[in-house]
Amino acid sequence: MKNNIFKILTIILFIFITSCDSGDQTLDNLSSNYITLNDSKIHYKEYGQGEKTLIFVHGWGCDLNIWKYQFDYFKDKYHLVLIDLPGYGQSDKVEKDYNIDLFAQSVLEIISDFEIKNPVLVAHSMGLPVAKEVMKQLNSENAMLCNIDGVYFDFPADSIENIQYKEGLTEFANMFNGENYKQNVEQFCNGFITETTPEDVRNYILSTMTETPQKIGYQSMKSLIDQKYWDKEVFNNQTIAIYARTADLPPDNENILRRQFPNLTYIEMDNVNHFLMMEKPKEVNDILKGFIEK
């Protein structure tokens, strides 16, 4: 009888300790992992179990820490992989061309390493074209895409309009190349901050994005505006797009996206800016969970 009671108490204690460990696990104290791609190390963090694997892809000037609220929410629901793209966060910053192809290859390397068949790609900002290139290589309509305020360029078909469009994008990218780089990055970052931006989000933007090395920052921007990444290939994957309803958002944004992502769930949010998944994490996380589990 005593042995049975001891066994029961041991099981209860184990369950209690395990649940406490899970509850205490944060993205900050999660151990780091690395894979090697073209002789440079790519940093990532991985946690959890489940039939679905969520792969988080950050945008320009950021790192995997932008997903801390998504980690807290999803850590006990799915298998999570959070990546520092090459040149960002704790990934190596070596001499190479930092472009969308390289970023996509780093994600594909991790997908291959974990043998993930049908990932759920969660992409923010510049992460969208990265995720698109990943999906092209995967060539699977069973992968899912969660586009969170992703950067999207719609190059005009008309030759004259196309030239003018490219000139405007080139002028913008050139802001990140030259002696005024630091000043221009700070100005760029301030565009994501309003009076209602939470303090922790404000601090993240100003402390992380402004520290992006100039060569990496410029090469990333130069690649981002390259028309070759903005073809009209159609993706039939289940896709959700969540955008901040700001003055800069095109009125036909949904229609533009739907031409390339016909199986699209489209949502706009008020009183948020570019970092909406940090500004209103519960609302964004609930939307993502509903989409992923539908």
- CATH number for the domain including 246? 3.40.50.1820
Q: What pLDDT score was predicted for residue 10?
A: 40
Residue 22 lies in a domain: no
In the predicted structure, residue 67 carries a pLDDT above the cut 50: yes
Question: Could you tell me if 124 and 284 are in contact, meaning their C-beta atoms sit under 8 angstroms apart?
Answer: no
Q: What percent of the chain is predicted at pLDDT more than 90?
A: 88
Question: Token pair of 82, please?
Answer: 């959070």
Q: According to the model, what pLDDT value does residue 23 have?
A: 63
For the cut 80, the answer to whether the pLDDT of residue 22 exceeds it is: no
Task: Compute the 3-state secondary structure of the chain and give helix, strand, coil in percent, each to the nearest 5.
Answer: 50, 15, 35
pTM of the full structure: 0.91
**How many other C-beta atoms are found inside a 10 Å radius of the C-beta of residue 290?**
11
Task: Average the pLDDT over 249-260 and give the result.
Answer: 96
Mean predicted confidence (pLDDT) in 123-149: 97
Q: Is residue 99 part of a domain?
A: yes
Domain that holds residue 181: 32-293
- Residue with more model confidence, 221 or 10: 221
Residue 229, in any domain of the structure: yes
Q: Is 20 part of a structural domain of the chain?
A: no
| Domain-embedded: residue 142 | yes
Count of alpha carbons within 13 angstroms of residue 69, beta-carbon side: 16
The answer, yes or no, to whether residue 27 has pLDDT greater than 90, is yes
> Looking at the domain assignment, is residue 70 inside a domain?
yes
Q: How confident is the model at residue 140 (pLDDT cuts 50, 70, 90)?
A: very high
Closest to 143 (Cα-Cα) out of 243, 55, 57: 55
CB contact at 8 A, 148 and 242: yes
Lookup: tokens for 271: 């009183």
E-state strands within the chain: 33-37, 40-47, 53-57, 79-83, 120-124, 144-148, 239-244, 264-269
Q: What pLDDT score does 294 carry?
A: 85
User: How many structural domains are present in the chain?
Assistant: 1
Digit-coded pLDDT (tens) for 156-199: 999 999 999 999 999 999 999 989 999 999 999 999 999 999 99
- Asked whether residue 24 is domain-assigned, the answer is no
185: tokens are 């990055």
Residue 4 lies in a domain: no
